[in-house]
Amino acid sequence: MTYARFVAIGDSQTEGLGDGDDIIGHRGWADRLAEHLAHANPDLCYANLAVRGRQAAQIRAEQLPAALALRPDLVTVMAGMNDIIRPGFDAAKVADIVADMIAQLTAAGAHVVTMTFPDIFRLAPLARPLRPRLLDFNARIREAATRPGVTLVDTFPLDFTVDARMWSVDRLHASPTGHARFAAGVAHALGLPGSDDAWTTPLPPLPAPGALRAASGEVRWLAAFAGPWIGRRLRGRSSGDGRTAKRPLLTPLIDGDQSMSGRSSAS
C-alpha dist (Å) from residue 198 to 114, 120, 135, 181, 207:
20, 21, 26, 9, 23
Distance in angstroms between the alpha carbons of the first and the last residue of the chain: 41
Select the more confidently predicted residue: 265 or 256.
Answer: 256
Segments in 145-246 forming alpha helices (H): 176-189, 211-221, 227-234
Largest CA distance in the chain: 54
251 vs 253: CA distance, rounded Å: 7
pLDDT for the residue 158: 95
Query: How much is the average pLDDT of 248-262?
Result: 71
Query: How much is the average pLDDT of 121-150?
Result: 91
pLDDT 10s digits, 162-218: 998 998 888 688 999 999 999 999 999 999 999 999 999 999 887 766 666 655 655
pLDDT for the residue 212: 63
pLDDT for the residue 128: 83
- Taking alpha carbons only, the member of 209, 129, 134, 217 closest to residue 171 is 217
DSSP string, 135-155: HHHHHHHHHHTTSTTEEEE--
User: Strands, E, within the chain: which ranges?
Assistant: 5-10, 20-21, 25-26, 45-48, 74-78, 111-115, 150-153, 247-252
